[in-house]
């Protein structure tokens, strides 16, 4: 269920770049003082955004597999008291959070299979054919479970695959062709939409490219 556990720290105010990855993250922020623990579940972003962080503190995050259904109010209520005993025992926290996630998050093998098919197909209809179902049936399975239609997931998988290729030497025109974009201009428009900047600039931005290629969907 947990794709990746991560931590971060801040020594002063800063802005974090958040890019779409198809995953919900359960996030704990520990600020100053014994009552400065706060929890949130990140949304499924469909565009780049920047988040202003407090001046100090630590973050603990649990990235959930794409397609995980989160019972958000119940989960946040359950974890609300965790992390308030400082100094924090990271190993104990991991175990306690894992138990809460098992109680208030659900995965469906049918949704997992459908999302994998969409990620690997050239278009949504092809994913349906690979699974032996209609495009409409695929939509009825994926949309209620994730809150987004298959077209969202197909577009996200395509742009994330293309962005991963930016770490290599291939020309932008070749990357565009290899990942199903009509041309380089189409790739550039989609990269701006999802990642907040065109591919040539993203390729030069080491930190943003690392964020764009972190674990997630596709």
Q: What is the pLDDT of residues 162-205, one digit of tens each?
A: 999 999 999 999 999 999 999 999 999 999 999 999 999 999 99
3-state secondary structure of 49: strand
Residue-wise pLDDT for 98-128, tens only, equals: 999 999 999 999 999 999 999 999 999 999 9
- Helix, strand, coil percentages for the chain (3-state, nearest 5): 45, 20, 35
Q: Which residue, of 106, 136, 159, is where some domain finishes?
A: 106
Report the CATH number at residue 164.
Answer: 1.10.10.60
Domain span at residue 33?
A: 2-106
The structural domain count of the chain equals 2
Q: Which residue, of 106, 131, 162, is where some domain finishes?
A: 106
Q: Which residue, of 50, 75, 106, is where some domain finishes?
A: 106
């Amino acid at each position: 269920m947990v794709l990746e556990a991560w931590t971060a720290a801040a020594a002063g105010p800063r802005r974090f770049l958040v890019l779409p990855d198809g995953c919900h993250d359960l996030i704990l922020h520990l600020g100053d003082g014994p009552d400065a623990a706060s929890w949130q579940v990140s949304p499924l972003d469909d565009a780049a955004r920047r988040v202003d962080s407090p001046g100090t503190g630590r973050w603990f995050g649990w990235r959930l597999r794409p397609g995980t259904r989160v019972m958000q109010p119940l989960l946040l209520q359950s974890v609300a008291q965790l992390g308030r005993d400082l100094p924090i025992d990271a190993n104990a926290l991991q175990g306690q959070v894992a138990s809460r996630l098992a109680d208030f998050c659900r995965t469906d093998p049918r949704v997992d299979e459908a999302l994998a098919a969409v990620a690997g197909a050239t278009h949504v209809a092809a994913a349906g054919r690979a699974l032996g179902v209609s495009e409409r049936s695929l939509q009825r399975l994926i949309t209620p479970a994730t809150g987004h239609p298959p077209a969202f997931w197909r577009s996200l998988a395509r742009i994330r695959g293309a962005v991963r290729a930016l770490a290599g030497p291939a020309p932008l025109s070749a990357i565009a062709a290899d990942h199903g974009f009509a041309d380089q201009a189409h790739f550039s428009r989609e990269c701006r939409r999802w990642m907040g900047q065109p591919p040539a600039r993203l390729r030069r931005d080491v930190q943003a490219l690392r964020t764009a290629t972190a674990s997630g969907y596709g």
